[in-house]
């Protein structure tokens, strides 16, 4: 029960529904025990002694009892569901909030399909036990307890025989639980794996079709699907083995009791009606004991689900704001790195080593280097998506660790290399970081990002609803909407992570023209592979293997003749070649 104790904070506030459900369940279970009594009176008094005047009384009493039981069962079921639904609402909300604040490195290894499975299938598995499992357990205790008391009233000898048989049934039930819980844990894992396969397949459909890998994906899904099927069959096999065994034990008990009870009736020690009532009570014990396997099954599923939910809730974030966090509405934007090194979690090689530089207010810093050289790592430290392993990152002279995370990131505008647009209107996407912005402000941001022109040509303009991940727009159009989104928040620090990589040369020129005006008074970092995007930078840092190998302006680095000059020669030699081919009609056609 440790898992349920640790999740108590989510369901205990709604305990009034649980207690109400249990109260009506006790009433319904207590009324159920009256059935054998009415049956015994009908046989022994009305039938055997031919006291027909009891028939209307017993019939009316039976109808009244049925009505009371029906009402009690309704409220027990309804309040039980209220308990489960209300508790899971709180749990799902906590899980979603937790996912929002988990650090970047958690998502480096997390799989979308697995997280989706936890927030849907696992949460529902836990809800089912809260709605029905607790009340079923109470029903088991009440029904079995009342039945045993009444059995001793009718015949203590038969009651002892019945109790002597129950340990065999209990042993089977608990052995069943010991085997079925690990089986359900494996089912949950294989379901999450299958969901991940589906999610990756749908997200990467363009790549799959462009490379003709449909058959490969079908085979890969078939493997996950087969694993899920196999694990379900293993669990079904456990059920198939143990339930007939439990039923056999129950049947043997009934045969023994029937023989002994028949002897007691013939011997005059037990009335026929009492024997019939006793056998009804026997099934009130045997059925719950055999259904105990179902309860354990439900409990095992919810326990496996609870374990997976706790893995998210127990995840620690090492990037929380300090208690005395420094909040500032508007940062000046001075950035300094003092001997900063960074090793990502679960990595051995350093992503950055001994990085030191300063970016003055309103300056433009260019970052250039091969893939994996550490360019994006520099900017991620500025927004404190990771903490430096050693050294210190300062903004306006204060360590980034001392700032409140929300106020820090509200002052930093990101245009990431991989743009994400929500399935909402273009207006909502641009205003995502500042939802209170007016329509005029949204349009101005779009104009500055050279996006207004193509947006107005869309069927509903700024009210056009985008498909998933911006489907329906070109890469350059999505890029410009992302740029407008960053510009609307009017950040003190602007980070462009290869922000013009998905646009053509003409659009790049238009965006850069707008940027020159917008960068005034704003500290800007530009990650780019095109030298044309960095020529206006006040300083350019050339990184290699996490170290700054060269620094200076465009002119200084070209004159220096190092790494930057080699990149410059390659890019501009290619441009000259293209010009020559267009002049002389050469090139591939």
Query: What six digits make up the tokens of 524?
Result: 């800007």
Q: Where are the beta strands (DSSP E) in 396-545?
A: 398-399, 412-415, 493-497, 523-527, 539-544
Does residue 326 lie in a domain region? no
Same domain as 237, residue 369: no
Quote the CA–CA distance of 252 and 231 in Å, as a whole number: 32
506 versus 574: the higher-pLDDT residue is: 506
Summarize the confidence of residues 533-541 as an average pLDDT: 89
Q: pLDDT tens for residues 313-363?
A: 888 777 777 778 888 888 999 999 999 999 988 788 899 999 999 999 989
What residue spans of 33-103 are helical by DSSP H? 34-41, 54-101
Residues of the chain with pLDDT > 70, as a percent, come to: 89
**Is the pLDDT score of 393 beyond 50?**
yes
Residues of the chain with pLDDT > 90, as a percent, come to: 17
Is residue 381 within 8 Å of 343, Cβ to Cβ?
no
Name the pLDDT band for 469 (thresholds 50, 70, 90): low
Summarize the confidence of residues 386-412 as an average pLDDT: 91
Name the pLDDT band for 585 (thresholds 50, 70, 90): very low
Give the range of the structural domain holding residue 420, as residue numbers without chain letter.
363-382+401-584
pLDDT of residue 112: 75
Same domain as 373, residue 228: no
Same domain as 281, residue 372: no
**Is the pLDDT score of 162 beyond 90?**
no
**Is the pLDDT score of 501 beyond 70?**
no
Quote the CA–CA distance of 571 and 250 in Å, as a whole number: 84
pLDDT of residue 505: 67
Quote the CA–CA distance of 371 and 388 in Å, as a whole number: 20
Same domain as 256, residue 174: yes
Highest mean pLDDT among 195-199, 297-301, 520-524: 520-524
Q: pLDDT tens for residues 307-317?
A: 888 888 888 77
Same domain as 478, residue 368: yes
**Is the pLDDT score of 583 beyond 70?**
no
Does residue 329 lie in a domain region? no
Q: pLDDT tens for residues 275-315?
A: 888 888 888 887 777 677 667 777 877 888 888 888 888 88
Same domain as 164, residue 26: yes
Quote the CA–CA distance of 159 and 566 in Å, as a whole number: 95
Quote the CA–CA distance of 498 and 376 in Å, as a whole number: 10
DSSP-based three-state secondary structure for 244: helix
**Is the pLDDT score of 576 beyond 60?**
no
Does residue 323 lie in a domain region? no
**Is the pLDDT score of 559 beyond 80?**
yes
Q: Quote the distance between the C-alpha of residue 230 and its chain's center.
A: 25
Same domain as 128, residue 267: yes
Quote the CA–CA distance of 113 and 217 in Å, as a whole number: 16
Sign of the dihedral through C-alpha 484, 488, 494, 497: negative
Does residue 129 lie in a domain region? yes
- Of 272, 298, 313, which residue constitutes the final position of a domain? 313
Does residue 419 lie in a domain region? yes
Q: Please choose, from the candidates 14, 494, 206, 270, the residue with its C-alpha nearest in 3D space to the C-alpha of residue 22.
A: 14
Quote the CA–CA distance of 70 and 72 in Å, as a whole number: 5
Summarize the confidence of residues 81-87 as an average pLDDT: 90
Q: What is the mean pLDDT of the chain?
A: 82
Summarize the confidence of residues 573-582 as an average pLDDT: 48
Same domain as 100, residue 243: yes
Does residue 327 lie in a domain region? no
Same domain as 308, residue 456: no
Name the pLDDT band for 508 (thresholds 50, 70, 90): low
Does residue 451 lie in a domain region? yes
Q: Please choose, from the candidates 415, 413, 455, the residue with its C-alpha nearest in 3D space to the C-alpha of residue 434.
A: 413
Alpha carbons within 13 angstroms on the beta-carbon side of residue 418 total 2
Instruction: Give the largest Cα separation in the chain, rounded.
Output: 121
pLDDT of residue 280: 83
**Is the pLDDT score of 584 beyond 50?**
no
**Is the pLDDT score of 110 beyond 80?**
no
Summarize the confidence of residues 71-90 as an average pLDDT: 90
pLDDT of residue 342: 94
pLDDT of residue 530: 80
Q: Is this model's pTM higher than 0.75 or not?
A: no
pLDDT of residue 513: 65
Same domain as 253, residue 137: yes
Does residue 332 lie in a domain region? no
pLDDT of residue 500: 65
Query: What six digits make up the tokens of 365?
Result: 């810093």
Quote the CA–CA distance of 563 and 568 in Å, as a whole number: 9
**Is the pLDDT score of 581 beyond 50?**
no
- Of 313, 338, 372, which residue constitutes the final position of a domain? 313
Number of domains in the chain: 2
Quote the CA–CA distance of 383 and 331 in Å, as a whole number: 13
Summarize the confidence of residues 49-78 as an average pLDDT: 84
DSSP structure class, residue 357: E
- Of 275, 298, 313, which residue constitutes the final position of a domain? 313
CATH number assigned to the domain comprising residue 429: 3.40.50.300
User: By CB neighbour count within 10 A (0-12 exposed, 13-18 middle, 19+ buried), where does 377 fall?
Assistant: buried
Highest mean pLDDT among 198-212, 261-275, 375-389: 375-389
Name the pLDDT band for 515 (thresholds 50, 70, 90): low
Torsion, Cα 401 407 410 413, to 10 degrees, reads -20
Summarize the confidence of residues 1-20 as an average pLDDT: 87
CATH number assigned to the domain comprising residue 298: 1.20.1560.10
pLDDT of residue 360: 92
Summarize the confidence of residues 441-466 as an average pLDDT: 87
Lowest-pLDDT choice from 8-17, 44-53, 484-493 = 44-53
Same domain as 110, residue 50: yes
DSSP-based three-state secondary structure for 109: helix
Name the pLDDT band for 577 (thresholds 50, 70, 90): very low
Is residue 358 within 8 Å of 347, Cβ to Cβ?
no
pLDDT of residue 579: 45
Same domain as 206, residue 125: yes
**Is the pLDDT score of 574 beyond 80?**
no
Pairing of strands 547-552, 390-395: unpaired
């Amino acid at each position: 029960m440790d898992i349920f104790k640790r999740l108590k904070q989510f369901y205990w506030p709604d305990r009034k529904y649980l207690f109400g459900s249990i109260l009506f369940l006790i009433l319904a279970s207590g009324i159920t025990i009256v059935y054998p009594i009415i049956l015994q009176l009908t046989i022994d008094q009305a039938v055997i002694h031919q006291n027909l005047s009891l028939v209307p009384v017993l019939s009316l009493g039976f109808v009244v009892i049925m009505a009371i039981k029906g009402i009690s069962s309704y409220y027990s079921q309804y309040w039980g569901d209220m308990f489960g639904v209300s508790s899971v609402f709180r749990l799902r909300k906590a899980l979603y909030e937790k996912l929002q604040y988990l650090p970047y490195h958690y998502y480096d290894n997390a799989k979308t399909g697995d997280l989706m499975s936890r927030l849907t299938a696992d949460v529902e598995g836990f809800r089912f036990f809260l709605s029905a499992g607790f009340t079923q357990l109470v029903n088991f205790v009440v029904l079995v307890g009342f039945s045993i008391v009444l059995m001793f009233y009718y015949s203590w000898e038969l009651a002892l025989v019945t109790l002597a048989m129950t340990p065999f049934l209990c042993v089977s039930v608990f052995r069943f639980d010991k085997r079925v819980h690990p089986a359900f844990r494996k089912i949950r894992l294989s379901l999450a794996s299958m969901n991940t396969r589906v999610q990756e397949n749908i997200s990467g459909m363009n790549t799959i079709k462009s490379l003709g890998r449909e058959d490969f994906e079908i085979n890969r899904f078939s493997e996950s699907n087969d694993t899920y099927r196999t694990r379900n069959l293993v669990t079904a096999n456990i059920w198939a083995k143990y339930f007939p065994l439990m039923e056999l034990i129950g049947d043997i008990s009934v045969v023994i009791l029937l023989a002994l009870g028949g002897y007691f009736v013939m011997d005059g020690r037990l009335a026929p009606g009492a024997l019939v009532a006793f056998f009804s009570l026997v099934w009130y014990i045997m059925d719950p004991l055999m259904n105990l396997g179902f309860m354990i099954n439900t409990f095992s599923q919810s326990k496996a689900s609870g374990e997976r939910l706790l893995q998210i809730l127990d995840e620690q974030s090492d990037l929380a704001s300090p208690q005395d966090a420094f909040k500032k509405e508007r940062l000046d934007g001075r950035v300094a790195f003092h001997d900063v090194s960074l090793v990502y979690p679960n990595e051995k090689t350093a992503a950055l080593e001994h990085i030191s530089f300063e970016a003055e207010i309103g300056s433009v810093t260019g970052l250039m280097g091969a893939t994996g050289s550490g360019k994006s790592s520099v900017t991620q430290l500025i927004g404190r998506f990771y903490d430096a392993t050693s050294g210190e990152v300062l903004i306006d002279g204060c360590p980034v660790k001392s700032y409140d995370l929300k106020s820090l990131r509200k002052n930093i505008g990101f245009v990431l290399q991989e743009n994400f647009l929500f399935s909402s209107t273009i207006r909502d996407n641009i205003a995502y970081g500042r939802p209170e912005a007016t329509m005029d402000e949204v349009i101005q941001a779009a104009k500055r990002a050279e996006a207004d022109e193509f947006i107005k040509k869309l069927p509903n303009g700024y009210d056009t609803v985008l498909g998933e991940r911006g489907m329906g727009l070109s890469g350059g159009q999505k890029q410009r909407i992302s740029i407008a989104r960053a510009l609307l928040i009017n950040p003190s620090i602007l980070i462009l992570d290869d922000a013009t990589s998905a646009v053509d040369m003409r659009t790049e020129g238009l965006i850069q023209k707008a940027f020159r005006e917008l960068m005034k008074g704003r500290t800007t970092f530009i990650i780019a592979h095109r030298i044309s995007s960095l020529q206006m930078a006040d300083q350019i840092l050339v990184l290699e293997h996490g170290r700054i190998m060269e620094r200076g302006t465009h002119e200084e680095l070209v004159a220096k003749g190092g790494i930057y000059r080699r990149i410059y020669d390659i890019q501009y030699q290619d441009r000259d070649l293209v010009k020559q081919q267009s002049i002389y009609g050469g090139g591939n056609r």
